[in-house]
Structure formats: C-alpha cells, structure tokens
Structure 1
Amino acid sequence: MLLFRFFATLLMLALVGAPPALAQQRAPLEAFTGYDTLRGATLSPDGRYVALIRRESVGDVLVVYDRQTRSLRPIQTAAADAQMQIDFVEFKSDTRVIFGFSQRVRVVADSGRSVRRTRNLDDGFERVSRVYASSLDGAERVSLYEPDAQQGLPRWVSASLVSLLSSDPNHILLLAPKAGGAELWKVNIRTGERTIVDRGGMNTFNWIADVNGTPVLRQDVIAGGRGFAWSRRGPGQHDWTEIVRFRGASGANSGPTFEGVGPALAPGQVFVLARRDGQDTSGLYVFDTATGAYVETLQTNPNFDVSAAVRDVQNNTVLAACWWGYRWTCEPKDEAFAPYWRGLTQALGEDVNVRLITRGGEGGSLWLVQTNGPQDLGTYYLYDTASRQLNVLFNVRPSVDPALLPTKRIIEYTASDGESLWGYLWVPPGVTNAANLPLIVVPHGGPEGRDVWGDDPFAISFASQGYAVFQPNFRGGGGFGRRFVEAGHRQWGQRMQADVADGARYLIWSGIADPNRICIAGWSYGGYAAFTATFENADLYRCAMAGAGVSDLPGMLRWVRVGDPDEVISGGGVGSQGISYRYWTQAIGDPSADRAMLERYSAVHNVERIAMPLLIIHGDEDQTVPFEQSEIMERAMRRAGRPVRLVRLADTDHYFTPDQGEAWSTVMSESLAFFNQHIGPGVPPGAQ
C-alpha cells in the first residue's frame, strides 16, 4: 500500500497545522465531539479534483484540491458565529459543484400564535437550508434555492438534492420547501432558472426519480414527524398510491419496511430496500412503481437487515448490497466490481469499515474510499484500480494519535433465558490483559437502534479514559429482523433490561470486569435503561448516568398523545389515534390497561428502592423525550433523600450533532467525573 505523501502532508500542515510535539497520555474528549476537521469529500467525474469541507475557527470552509497541480483552493465559507454550516458538496461536472448550507435559527410564537423565525428568542430551533452551484474557483456562484423567512414550514422539511441527473449536463432535481407544500424543481445550475416537476404536500420531504428523471416515489412525514409514508406513481400515471406507512419514533427505526434507493435501468423502476412477503429481514429489490410489484431480488440475508446499496450512478446499476453484521459488510453484485472490492477490503483489514464514496477517472477506475473503526476516526483513500495502488488522502481528525484510542472485540454470551446474544467490548488503550477492569455498560438508544463496529461517541470517550465499555445488542433492537425487534415489545424494564444485565454478569464471570467497579450509562432508551437499573439492578451497578431518558412511562405516553401546549415546537401531541402513539402503546404498553405494569418499571415510581447515586443529563430543547422526564425524576429523588444531580444542557436537543459539540463534551466530562467519584479512575495506558 503506497502513501500519497504530498497530499497527506499538505492537508496535515496547510489545513490543520503541525501535530503536537509530544503525544498526550490520554486522548482529549474534544477529539470525539464537534465537527470533523475534514469531512464530506467527493471526487470529480474525471478524478482530477477532490472537494471537501474543512472546519476552521471561523466555521466551515469548502475547499477544492487539484490533484494535477497539487494546489488547494478555498471557495466558500459558512460562518460559525452565524450558526451556519456546509451540509454537503457534490460534483455536477468536472468544472462545477453543488453545495448546501444550513443555518440554525430560533422558532418562537408571535402574539397570534403563528410561527415565525428569529435568533433573539428562545422557544425552539430548526435548520433552514440554502443550495448553490459554482465553478471550482468559487466564481459564477448561482443560488438554486433561497428560503423564505416567513414560509412557516414544519421543522423536518428542508431543501435537498434529489438527483444530479447524470445524463443532463445543465440541470439537477431539487426538493424545494414552499409555504403551500414542497415542490420538486428541475433547476439550471448555471442560471438558477427552474421549472416545477411535481408538487407535494406540507409534509412531503423526499422524492425518488427514475432513469429519465421522472418522480416515481414520494415520501411524506406523518404523525407530527414521528413516522412517514411512501407512495408510488409510475410514468404517465396521475395519482399517487400509498405503499406503506412506517410506525416508529424519529431515529428509532430498524430495518426498512420500505425505502427508495435510486433509479434502476428501466423507466418507472427503482431500487428499494424492503421487508416484503412477510419476511423477517429487509432485502434489496428492483421495484416497479407502475404496478407495485417487486420484479427482481438482488440481496437478502436471513440474519441481518440489508440497509444500503453501492450504486453506479452513471449507469444506474447496483455494485454491492450492504448491511451491518458484526461489522459493515458489502456483498458485490457486479462481476467486474467484485475482485477489486474484495482485494481492497482484504488490504484494509477487518478492524475497519470500508465504504465506497464515489468513482471517477476513465471507466470509473479511481475510487474515493472512506474507512473508520475503533482506532480509525475516519480516513479517506484514493484507490486506483488500474494500477492497484491505494493512497491515503487524509484523516478526518488528524490531530488524534491512534495509539490513544481503545481497541474493540466481539463478545458472545447467553442470556438468563437461554437466548444467544452478543455485543461489543471496548478495551482501554494499551491494555493487553483485559482482566478485572472498571466497566461502563452502555445500552443503545431507540430502542430500535443497534450498536455497530467502531462508531459510538459514548463508548470511545469512556474507553479512551481507561474504562472498559460494553455495548450489548439486546432484544428490541433493530438490524436483526422484525422478530428480534418484537421480542422487546412490552418488555421495557423486563426482558430487555435483563439482556443488558446478563451481558455485564458474563463479563464478571469471564474475569474481564471488576464486580465492584461497574456503572451503567445511556442516552434516550439507554437513559431509560440506566434509570431502571437504579432499582432493578442495584446488586450489579455502583452508579448510573441517565441521559435524555424516560423515567415515567405513563407520563411519556401522555406527552406523546397530548404534547406540551407551551412549546412552539413539540414532538408530542399526536392524539390518541396518532400513528406514533399507537406504535408506542404497542411497543411499551397501554397507559390504561397496563398502567400497573408501566409504573412497576418506571424509575419515578420506584425511588424508594433506589440504592445508588444517579447523574441525570438532558437537553432543554429535546423534542423526542421531554426535559420534564428528567426534572420529575430529580424532584422525586430529592424528596426521597436519594443522591442525585441534574445537568441541564441549554439549547440542546436529543441528538448527537456536531453543532452541539460543546454540550456533548459536557456530557462526557460530567459522566467521567461521576464514574471516577463512584468506581475510581480508569486504568492508566499500558497498565496491564
């Protein structure tokens, strides 16, 4: 493997400055939060140029690197003090790029209760987007979409690129939010002139076009942003026909019931990810939008949900089908592509996930590839398939020494009811003998999420500071088929809680974890699991950090149904017939018929049983789990004389996003100080 030394050196020195002279003993927590130093890279069709986003003190800077002249040119800046960021960049041609901005703005209610935007008042926030095209030197910039400050759109709608229209050199398809509902525009990238291709509703946020640029799939938000519906319309047809409604909370879905991927070869046909014909896992198919028929099966997997496709966007074919197994796995579907892909992944090794970002050069012979793993926070490579040379371009966080990062291994264990389960164990840096370690158990959120190989800010932050970290993939989580998800229904605090605890007990039994130095920490559903552990697993854990968790299941269900009338933006309030309310009553329990069960497994109703210190952390702009869930728990703990502390994150929502890096650094530092207080410090690097 050859190192592209000039470009790597150029980026390390010219972009981010020289590395520190002496390595620190531990990686700084800021290494795992906020913006990557370099991100969002893409390659021009001829392979000559690399465009990427560089984070500087002023904010995001869009830069273009010329591989032929070895020159680097900044072409656009998004000011951090204006709460702006660059969201993406794509090459439309060898001479022109498309890029998007977004700005975080306040949303308040005026005296008439209509929504308006301001940056002066503090009632909620959303992101407003803009899209531009320019030449590679930043000149000839043309606005393709500018938002109307009074458009009053729901927060989940934002301008986005639908299709680059690879066969049309002058136009793209763009989703454009409008006051009367989203529109699909065909926009000239040189003049900004546009024509309306289709009109959606107020809740439309996505279209998929076929090989001819005809919109044939449409995606709409339902239930106040907590679910969505897909509809189809074949070429020449007039009406949209609904295909499926997805029931699930924002960001908590498992394998797709139905999801459009992109155009297939024939008009009206698209690639989709779907769970069809009663199958347990989702697969990759060709779907005919005129008839609603699945006309070809490209990939299925009996154990994991197929969740992505590597596509040749120039020829509208699929190169590989991908899924999260133990690691990110892609199965080639193209005979010419397969030997190069297998050789590439073998060369890079099994400790990293490998993704093909885009291809360029003659016949697509130059591949832009990105990796990440436990000791790789993100690396871009250029792979020349003609010469079989693999060159490092840059690391996304080049100041971080990989030697200061933890390692990771897969742990298989048997639950107390006999079910075979597995999870990830993070081992602190320099530790070769994983024995008698202080342990933090970190259950994932969702709960229909899952943990994956080498990508978790909590786990890597805690492990880098000397703690072993265990992430169990417990029942109720997604990615393993629908039966595994439904095995967690009506099991909050019960079987799901036991699966987590059983994993920790296995680590004690195997000698990896010190039984007297174990804490639990989690966010969202993981926060609920941490709350519940304070009274259900008091024999196992010495402390608990509950982040953005649910402490009162009946109260949470009530909020989903009625919302908060004092909030301009509220994730609740969908009504008793709302699809998200029905989903949660099915997954958790009915607040009337099952009230005793729900209270039995709610921490706020069990404070007298709590016998461990509790740290609560929550963002006060959370619209997925209301901040009230943490407030009521703190009050109940104080009334009962139990040790508790609540950390309120100002202007912070539910999700781990780079623009909230300072808040997330606070989450990590507060948690680590809490662990140190109650189970002692992590092991020093290389201590065992």
Structure 2
Amino acid sequence: MNRLLLAAAITLAAAPAALVAQEAPAAPAAAKETPGALFGTRENIEHADISPGGQHVVYLTPGHGRATSVYVARIDGSAPPQLVMTSGADPDRLRWCNFATDTRLVCQITGMVDEAGIVIPYSRLVAIDTDGKNGVMLGQKGSVYDARLRQSDGEILDWLPDQPGAVLMTRDYIPEAGKMNTRMVRNEDGLGVDRIDLATMEVSRVEGPAKDADFYLTDGRGKVRIKGYRPGVGATTQLANKVVYQYRADGSDEWRPFSTVEDGGAGLSPIEVDANCGCAYALQPLDGRQALYRVKLDGSMATELVYKNDRVDVDGVLRIGRGSRVIGVTYAEEKRHAIYFDKEYGALARGLGKALPNLPMVDFLGSSADNSKLLIHAGSDSDPGRYFVFDKTARSLNEILSARPSLEGVALASVKPVSYPARDGTAIPGYLTLPPGKADARGLPAVLLPHGGPSARDEWGFDWLAQYLANQGYAVLQPNYRGSAGFGDAWLQENGFQGWRTSIGDVTDGARWLVAQGIADADRLAIVGWSYGGYAALQAGVTEPGLFKALVAIAPVTDLDKLKSDARNYVGRNLVVEMVGTGKHTREGSPLQNVASLQAPVLMFHGDLDLNVGVGHSRLMDEKLRAAGKSSELVVYEGLEHSLVDSVVRAAMLDRIGAFLQASTAR
C-alpha cells in the first residue's frame, strides 16, 4: 500500500518480501490446526535491532517448541535472511541480540539448571559475527577454583557510539580459593566495569571490582556516572531492602552521595544518565505516586520535577540512539501514554499515529548510528504488532516484519478499559475483552483473568491468553485489583499476599459485576491465572466456593509459608520473608491449607525449573486435593521455567484449558 500523510510527509510503502517467512523454522502443519496453536505459538519476533549503517535488522524468531534462532536480514529484502545461530533452550535460551557494528553482534543467553533440588538461573553475553563465526564469551573466564558460582557474567552498560566495535560492560569478578603452590591466584571480588574491544577482545579496566556494588549507569558516552550498592551485602550474603546511590560530578572521579532509597520509601532512584543535559533522570514518590525528576550532576545536585501524574505512577523514560538520549517520559492510565521532551520525536510520533491509525501503540526501538533510520514497533489491542523502518531522509515507512503472521486473517477481539465497584465502593480498573463480533452479547460464559506479580499490572494491548479465551467465546475480565503496581502506594497497600483479602475480594467482585451487567451467565463463570494470578484463582475458589465453576492455575503459589521457605537458599530470602509477612494470614491465605473449602474442579500447569514459584507448590496442591476427594489435574513440563516458553507446550496447554472450561461451564 502507498499512502502519503501530508501533515508529516510520511510515505507508507509496501513491505519488501517477508523477512521472516523465507527462513524461519515453522511448526509442524498439524500443530496449526487447533485454536491453541494459533494463539499459543510464540511471537514470531521476540527481539529486533537495526544496524549502525541502517541497512540490516537482526531478530530472534522461535523455531519448533522452545528453540530460538537469530537471523540478520537486509531491510530492503534484496537477499534471504541469514541464520546466525540457534538455541534449543535445553537449557540455554537466546534472549536478545544487538548490533555492536554492522558485522558484529552481542547476544544474551540465559538458562536454568537444577543443582540438588535448587533451581539456579544464569546469564551469559556472547559476541558473534553476523555470519555466525568468531563467537566468544564476554565475561571473566571461569576456573575450577572459583570461590563461588557466577550466575551472571555481566551486562552491557554502554554501546560507545564514538568508539565503534567496543562496549562497556559490568563484569562479575570471582576470586579463586584452594589453589595451592602458585602465586597466580585471582583475588579480585565483586562487580566492576570493563571496556572490551569486540574485534581483538582486548580488555581495559574502567571500574575496579567492588563487593557491594550491584548497579552502574553511564552517560551513554563511556563515562560511569552513578553507582548503587546495598549496604552489608558482602557480610550477610542477603539482599538488603536499602540501596545507596553515589554519583560523579562533571570532570571528577570522586564518588559523591546521590541518594539512599529503602524499598517502598522516599528517595531518588536513578534510571538514566543523559550526557546532553549533564543530568540524571530519577524516580521519586510524590503525593504517593512515582514522579520523574531531573538531577544535575555538576556538583550542585539541583533537582527539578519533570513530570507527575495524579492518577498513576510514572514508570520510565523513552530513549533513542546508540547513546541512549532521553526523549520523553511514559506512564499507563487506561492506555499507555508518552510525553516527548524532544520536539522532533514528538512530531514524528504524532505523524506515525496518523499514518497508522489502527496501530496506536508506537514504540521507537532503535536507530542507525546517524539517527537517519529508525526501527519502530506498532500494535494495538487487536493487532499483535508490526515492525517498520522509518527513513527520515526519504520520509518513508516500510513494514518489514509481523509479530504473529499466523493470526493474519483471524478475527481478534477489541479490549475495552472498564471500571467496576468493589464491595467497599472502591472503583477497580480493568480490561474487558468480548468475543469477536459479540460486543452486545448477553449471558456469555466468562473468565476472570487476574495478572501475576502481584506488584504488576495489566495494560491495554494484545494479550495472547485473553485473546484465546475470547476466541473460544468467553467474556474476559482482567482486573487491576488492589495490590497491583502502577497506581500509587495507597493502591499497592501491603501487597497482594499480606493484603490478600482485599486483592482476592476485588477479583471476585469483578465476577459479580460481569453478572450484574448482564454480560456473564452466573452459572458459567471460571477463573484462570498465572503465577500470583494462579494463586488468586485457587484462593478465590477457597473464599467463594460456589462462584466459579472451574479453576485454572498456571505456576501458582499455593502456600505462603512455603513461598518463604523456598527462598531460604537465595540471597533474596529476607526480602521474600518481609513481603509475605508472618501471622495467621499466611495460613488463612494459603489454598494448600484450605483445600476442604474448594468445590470447583482444578487444573494446574507448572514447569519443573520454575525459579519464581517452585513446582512443589502445584505438586503438593494436587496431592492434597486428590487425597480430599476433590477434582484435580496437574501437568508438569520438564525443563521449563515460569513462563513456559515453548510453542508446542503453550498450544497444548491452551487446548487443554479450552476443553476443561467447556466441560465445566457448559449449559
């Protein structure tokens, strides 16, 4: 299609030959025959970046099951995409790849391993040529004498736009222990910052390792300006709930106090440094909600309020370019909004909104080195998204990739922001998704779909799980119950575990509202949830046994005291104990301790390498339900973590959920 937007002079050109479809591995044809496969298959693009020269894109695309492949393709579609590498996710999983130069990539690989019943996560960074050659790990080389486990070898801090082919990265330095009869023993310990030449692998020290450091920020031009650390970590091996930040003034190497922030308390939390203004952007509570501030790093610490919202938290800044220049601020009310400080990008965002009226969610993902070409993602509630390259010089906008080509031609549902009253009169925000073509339907089967977290929130946009349920004929309500994040401290309350009665009450009140509005049939209500959402599904079945006819819990917390004991081998143990709390609420708020109250049939799914919520939660729940004569089914997936990142698994899970709900909510 060719359309000219006069207001911004943007030409929306026909897309070149599909970059993904030519080479990406496809799932077997049989898997595409079910609704579960249509919606459960992973997004065709899991990450994308544009090259410094603006001629190529790199993207991650799923293969069969849990495999992931990296491809590099010409933006003009003049040649087939080139395979760089593939991961089978057994256990390594590719997470992202970005261009360091036009011919050199940096990629992150993560995974989980089970060591004597303890699930341990790890991440590694690798540099590799775009033709798949010359791969090398970027972290410190390991040794059989390492004194402790290296879970993460580091993170990229700065892409050094003025030094092509080099990066700044944090590196976790681990000393050696037990090495005898030699002076060649490593003693450095802690997190440092190194400059690495990706062609020669020459390493230059920028910041020496510090045992208590766990956070650095640069100015996007190679200067480390902010450091964060948790006091006492080195001595206690437990994460503290307080972070101390320091900064460097212009032209100085001396660390000065910036702020001290306790979890949930006041204080400036730096999130970005911008060399253009010589300042840091930081979040800090104001009137009970996070607001954005700008702090001068010239020694004065002069602080000014940049933006606040009276309804929701500010949750981040918008950046562009290889130097990560800050161009705006973002927050989510009923829908996500952006306020641009940069006039050029503000005008461009408005122009793109007019050029893509059906894709209002526009994000700038990356740019060429000279900022003349931009990689853009645009989507909506009923469109999972498309990737475009905007050429500023030609004023052309070319669609190059589709997030979910398998859903092209499939009727997708619209998502409507709603609000409903809780039992105490509080208005609870949420999102209502009705089956496609049934906007005025009455008496539908309905599903409550509470989000995980609990300190997270749902947003307006495409949700593959909600869309699947709507496709199967269900009205879907996603409540942002009290305990959700993003709405300020008063809404967050203690959290969804200590304040479970309020959170779960808000969820069940949502079901009653659907019935009162005539949208839902009271005899065909179900609840489906993942993580905390799975906990909410089971606990709602405990507190209101006759309300839901089916309970589906994916990776659910089932016992609050077990959640604490499961954390005993990890450095975040104290934080988990503090979050859950102690008292009778842990017994009364644990589905595992109250199975006698459950009436509805239960279906659970869990990966056996789940670090967030151990698989033991579901196994114990299933055993106890069966022992009590209750209806329970549990599916455990070997080698998968919390998100169940496997297209075959997700497709089968959705089909099983569909059959379970149909049997439980049929007239």
What's the TM-score, normalizing by structure 2? 0.84
The one of 606, 614, 617 equivalent to 1:618 is: 606
Question: Which residue of 1 is the match for residue 577 of structure 2?
Answer: 581
State the AA in 1 paired with 2:281: F
Displacement of 1:368: 1.4
Q: Indicate the residue corresponding to 2:122 in structure 1.
A: 127
Distance 1:676 1:198, change over 3 A: same
Return 5+ residue gaps in structure 2 as ranges: 3-11, 175-188
Structure 2 vs 1, CA of residues 81 and 624 (structure 1 numbering), >3 Å: closer, same or farther?
closer
Q: Distance in 1 between matches of 2:666 and 2:455?
A: 33
Task: Please tell me whether the aligned partners of residues 295 and 303 of structure 2 are also in contact (alpha carbons under 8 angstroms).
Answer: yes
Distance 2:666 2:253 in 1: 66
Q: C-alpha separation between the residues in 1 aligned to 2:650 and 2:328?
A: 35
Q: In the aligned structure 2, how far is the partner of 1:12 from the partner of 1:664?
A: 21
Deviation string 1:558-615 (CA, Å, 9 cap, x unpaired) is 544xx2xxxxxx45883xxx23322332xxxx33xxx2x4433332333332222222
3-state SS in 2 of match to 1:62:
strand
2:289 maps to which residue?
Answer: 281
The corresponding residue for 1:486 is 493
Check whether the contact 1:92–1:164 (CA below 8 A) recurs between aligned residues.
yes
Q: Are 2:595 and 2:625, in contact at CA under 8 Å, matched by a contact in 1?
A: yes
Is 1:188 the counterpart of 2:193? The answer is no
Q: Is the 8 A contact 1:232 1:290 kept in 2?
A: no
Give the 5 Å matches for 1:35-434.
Answer: 36-56=43-63, 59-67=67-75, 70-74=78-82, 76-80=84-88, 83-93=91-101, 95-102=102-109, 104=111, 106-108=113-115, 124-134=119-129, 136-137=130-131, 144-145=138-139, 147-148=141-142, 150=144, 151=146, 157-179=152-174, 180-201=189-210, 204-210=213-219, 212-219=221-228, 229=243, 231-235=245-249, 236-239=252-255, 241=257, 243-245=259-261, 247=263, 258-267=269-278, 269-272=279-282, 274-276=283-285, 278-288=286-296, 293=301, 295-313=303-321, 317-349=325-357, 352-360=360-368, 364-434=371-441
RMSD: 3.6
Which residue of the partner structure matches residue 656 of structure 1?
643
Report the 3-state secondary structure (helix = DSSP H, G, I; strand = E; otherwise coil) of the residue aligned with 2:347.
helix
| Amino acid paired to 2:397 | L
Cα gap change, 1:540 to 1:53, in 2 (>3 Å): same
CA-CA distance at 1:334 after TM superposition: 1.4
Asked whether the 8 Å contact 2:39–2:651 carries over to 1, the reply is no
Contact 1:170/1:189 (8 A) holds in 2: yes
Cα distance in 2 for partners of 1:547, 1:56 equals 23
The correspondence for 1:671, drawn from 653, 657, 662, is 657
Q: Deviations over 1:45-101 (max 9, x none)?
A: 3422222234445954433333468224525213427644433232334x3433214
- Say if 1:283 and 1:300, in contact at 8 Å, map to a contact too: yes
SS at match of 2:21: helix
Pair 40,481 (structure 1): closer, same or farther in 2 beyond 3 Å: same
Post-superposition offset of 1:352? 4.4
Tell me by how many angstroms 1:355 deviates.
0.7
The range that moved more, 515-524 or 453-462, is 453-462
Identity of aligned residues (%): 23
Counterpart-to-counterpart distance in 1, 2:266 and 2:474: 31
What are the Cα deviations for residues 186-234 of structure 1, in whole angstroms up to 9, with x where unaligned?
0112211011111344675542112552222234576857968352231
State how far apart, in whole Å, the 2-side matches of 1:457 and 1:198 are.
43
Distance 1:152 1:400 in 2: 50
1:327/1:353 contact within 8 Å kept: no
Match in the other structure for 2:596: 608
CA 1:294 to 1:540, structure 2 compared with 1: closer, same or farther past 3 Å?
farther
Does the Cα contact within 8 Å between 2:106 and 2:126 map onto a contact in 1?
A: yes
Tell me, in whole angstroms, the C-alpha distance in 1 between the residues paired with 2:437 and 2:141.
Answer: 51
> For the Cα contact (< 8 Å) 2:16–2:76, is it kept in 1?
no
SS at match of 1:459: helix
Distance in 2 separating the partners of 1:527 and 1:50: 38
The code of the aligned residue for 1:370 comes to: H
Query: Relative to 1, partners in 2 of residues 1:30 and 1:174: Cα closer, same or farther, differing over 3 Å?
Result: farther
Counterpart code for 1:318: V
Q: Secondary structure at the match of 1:544?
A: strand
Q: TM-score, normalised by structure 1?
A: 0.82
**1:340 Cα deviation (Å)?**
1.6
Residues 121-141 of structure 1: CA deviation (Å, up to 9, x unaligned): x7534334132153x555666
Q: How many residues align?
A: 635
Q: For 1:629 and 1:329, locate their aligned partners in 2 and report how far apart those are by CA, in whole Å.
A: 38
Counterpart of 1:434, as a letter, is A
Q: Which runs of 5+ in 1 are unaligned?
A: 110-121, 249-253, 564-569, 682-688
Partner deviation per Cα, 1:438-460 (whole Å, 9 max, x = no partner) = 11101111111101122434323
- Structure 1: distance between partners of 2:566 and 2:126: 36
* Cα distance, 1:255–1:331 mapped onto 2, change above 3 Å: farther
**What secondary structure is seen at the aligned counterpart in 1 of 2:304?**
strand
